[in-house]
Every structure is written in C-alpha cells, then in structure tokens.
Amino acid sequence: MSFKNLRFLKGMLKFSRFNDIGIDLGTANTIVYKTGKGIILREPSVVAINTETKRPVAVGLEAKEMIGRTPGSIEAIRPLKEGVIADYESTAIMLKYFLKKAMGKSFMGKNRILICIPYAVTDVERSAVEKAAYFTGAKDVKIIEEPLAAAIGSGLPVSEPVGSMVVDIGGGTSEVAVISLGGIVSSESVRVAGDAIDASIIAYIKKNFSLVIGERTAEEIKIEIGNALGYSGKMEIRGRDLMTGLPHNVEVSAEDIREAISESVTLILEAVKNTLEHTPPELAADIIDYGITLTGGGALLRGLDVLISRETGIPVHIANTPLDCVALGTGKSLENPVLWNSISK
C-alpha cells in the first residue's frame, strides 16, 4: 500500500470513531445520536428542581410526568422555550445528565459533538448552547441549524444544486427553509408550533366548556383528535370546572379542536407561503417537482400535509420518522467528512 493510501486510510479511520455524538436539543424533546450506533436516547427536555436546594430531582421523562403535579418544593421546568435557551443552568444540567445516561463511561470528553439549534437564535443564545456542550467535557463542538439537519436527516439531496424545501414543526418553533448546495437559500422561522397549539387548546376549552385543563391534557387531546383538516372523532376529557372548582368531564370533538388550533395552523401555513415567495424561481421549480417535506412532531398533526398541499398547489410528504429527522441529520453529518467540513464552526 502506498504512503498516500495509508494517509487516506488513517483519515478515514479518524472519521469512523464510534464515540461522536449528535444532539437535537429541542424545546420539547432531546434526542442523542451516537456514531456507528444510531439514536441512543429520546427524552422530554424537562428538569425537575428542588426549589430549596436548587438541585435537580428528576430529568427527562420522569420530570415531564411531574409537570402540573409538583408540590411547592419542586418545580418542573422546561429549560428551552420557543426554541431558545430560557434557562442556561438547567439546560447544562439536562445535557450533562442525558449524555451520561446515553454514553456511560464511554463518554470520555474526547468526543466531537454536533448540536442542533433553531435557525433564528441570536449569537448570545448560540454561544450559550456551545458553552453548555463544552461543559460536558467535549473536545470539539459544532452547531448546525435545525432545518439543515432536518433536511439531511430526512434524506433530501441537500448537497446537490437542487432546491429542497423542509418544514420542521417542533414544540417551540416552526422553521421553513429552502436548501440548495448545502446551504439555506431562503427561510422563515415562527415561534408557533406544538406548544402554541397546546396553549390554544387550553384557551378554547376554558372559553367554550368552562373547563380548566393542563398542558399535558392539551397535548393528549392534540395527539388523539387534533387536526388541521377533515377529521372527525370525539374524546372525553377531564378537567376542573371553572364555576364549581370541581373535577368535571366533557366531550370534545375533532371539529372543536380544529377550530381551536386554526390560528396557529394559519401562521405556519403563512410561513410556508412567505418562504416560497422569497425563493429564486429555478429553485421554486424544483420544489414544485419534488415537493415539500414535513419533519418534527408537528408533521404528525392530521391533515396538515393535505392542507399545505391544497393551499400551495405543491405535493407534501411527511418524513419517515419526523421526530427523529434532526438527530439523524446530526448523525449523518458526523459520519460524513464532506458534510462535517461544510458545517462552519
């Protein structure tokens, strides 16, 4: 084997290290990808803190189950809100906990970390994420924009001179982007996504049924009968009667929920239309041919794909595993030297 080949092989080996990690640090969920292995952790982005000692008592799923059910001495917080870091300290605690849980002793601090953040974050928020990742002892930290990671993870031809459109609807933000030759050509980010949809369900049920429900019930309703278009069904829900203050059951229909969330759905739709308007004509033509790809948990909202397609006249596809796309995109970028090198620091 020639010296040149040996050097090439050494370079490839450097890239096939198995301990690098990709993180989708989402408002609702954090997903960790380990190179050579795939997704190794999926947890809600929640931390429960003892308000007296300021120490975490639970992180992830266990902490999410405490939301709305904590005694005075415990507070369940979501360190990320609307796609940005609202509480730096608990974000760092959460990241460190998840990495330890996912990697155990194999996380020796020599790893590369590729972490995904929303597209519209400020420089301050961006460096807060980096700081939190370095806090875990990583050697090299890079940041990738969410729509780019989502597009890579859903298998779109991002590196080619072809326009691809991705709409990532998460918990805090909905991000629409057109990507070509590895970069974002036009995009729009709105702070309206799963959380805003849940909040509109809470407000609607309170106004129309005089019933107070919590965030978790609202999310359950959304997942069971939520829809943007043409779905019928009913669901029995329990809450606190606004008049009597006592527990009470009511039946809500899919039509009720469609009305409750229509404003949020319209804002997401407008972001898609605005982005299309700002897309150069050649790329717009590609999108008409290849369609729009939906990713993020919000992609699973019934009828949203059909509504977007009807309103834009463009075919819409839901990615295979919409909740995992961003994490898969970070993983693919770590495993592919060309993609890794194309991500600026």
Ligand X SMILES: Nc1ncnc2c1ncn2[C@@H]1O[C@H](COP(=O)(O)OP(=O)(O)OP(=O)(O)O)[C@@H](O)[C@H]1O
Cross-strand partners of 234: 253
In angstroms, the CA 275 to CA 285 distance is 14
Near ligand X by CB under 6 A: residue from 20, 21, 27, 130: 27
Query: Where does this chain touch ligand X (CB under 6 A) — which range of 68-76, 106-114, 221-229, 243-251?
Result: 221-229
**Angle 194-209/215-225 helices, nearest 10 degrees?**
100
Query: Where does this chain touch ligand X (CB under 6 A) — which range of 47-55, 68-76, 100-108, 293-301?
Result: 293-301
Q: What is the DSSP letter of 343?
A: S
Confirm or reject binding of residue 111 to ligand X (CB under 6 A). Answer: no
The answer to whether 166 touches 295, Cβ cutoff 8 Å, is: yes
| Closer residue to ligand X (CB): 158 or 304 | 304
Cβ within 8 Å of residue 129, ≥6 positions away: 25, 85, 91, 115, 117, 121, 143
CB of 146 to Mg ion, least distance (A): 6
Confirm or reject binding of residue 301 to ligand X (CB under 6 A). Answer: yes
Near ligand X by CB under 6 A: residue from 70, 136, 173, 279: 173
DSSP string of 236-301? EEEEEETTT-SEEEEEEEHHHHHHHHHHHHHHHHHHHHHHHHTS-HHHHHHHHHH-EEEESGGGGS
Angle at 201 between CA 197 and CA 204, to 5 degrees: 135
**Residues touching ligand X, count (CB under 6 A):** 25
Near ligand X by CB under 6 A: residue from 6, 9, 203, 223: 223
150-179: contacts with Mg ion (CB under 5 A) = 170
Confirm or reject binding of residue 192 to ligand X (CB under 6 A). Answer: no
Confirm or reject binding of residue 147 to Mg ion (CB under 5 A). Answer: no
Confirm or reject binding of residue 203 to ligand X (CB under 6 A). Answer: no
The answer to whether 165 touches 292, Cβ cutoff 8 Å, is: yes
Answer with the entry of Mg ion, ligand X, none that 44 interacts with (C-beta below 5 to 8 A by kind): none
Answer with the entry of Mg ion, ligand X, none that 194 interacts with (C-beta below 5 to 8 A by kind): ligand X
Near ligand X by CB under 6 A: residue from 185, 199, 300, 343: 300
Confirm or reject binding of residue 171 to ligand X (CB under 6 A). Answer: yes
Which residues form the interface with Mg ion (CB under 5 A)?
A: 26, 170
Contacting residues toward ligand X, per CB under 6 A: 24, 26-29, 83, 118, 146, 170-173, 193-195, 219, 222-223, 226, 296-298, 300-301, 323
